[in-house]
Amino acid sequence: MAGKILAPIHPGEMEWVLEEEAQLYNRKDEEETVKDALIRNLRVEGRDFSSMRFSAVLFENCVFQDCNFERGEFADVIFQSCDISNCSFENSYFNRALFRSSKGMGVKFCGSTILHTSVENCNFNYANFDSSKLEHLRFLETQLQGSSLSQCRCKAVEWSRVNLEHASFFQTMMAGMDFTDSTIHSLVLSENCHEVRGAVVDLYQAAELAKYLGIVIKNS
Sequential DSSP letters for 49-97:
-TT-EEEEEEEES-EEES-B-TT-EEEEEEEES-B-TT-B-TT-EEEEE
pLDDT value for 3 = 64
Domain 16-213 -> CATH class: mainly beta
pLDDT value for 152 = 98
Domain spans of the chain?
16-213
Distance CA 87, CA 109 (A): 9
Distance CA 58, CA 38 (A): 5
Helices (H) and strands (E) in the chain, counts: 2, 10
**Mean pLDDT, contiguous 10-residue spans, the chain (220 residues):** 80 83 88 93 96 96 97 98 98 98 98 98 98 98 98 97 98 96 94 91 87 65
**For residue 121, what are the CA distances in angstroms to 92, 139, 149, 177?**
22, 8, 19, 19
Residue 137 — φ and ψ, nearest 5°?
-120, 130
pLDDT value for 216 = 60
Half-sphere exposure of 194 (CA within 13 A, CB side): 4
Instruction: Report which DSSP code applies to 29.
Output: H
Distance CA 220, CA 125 (A): 38
Distance CA 193, CA 209 (A): 9
CB 175 within 8 Å of CB 199: yes
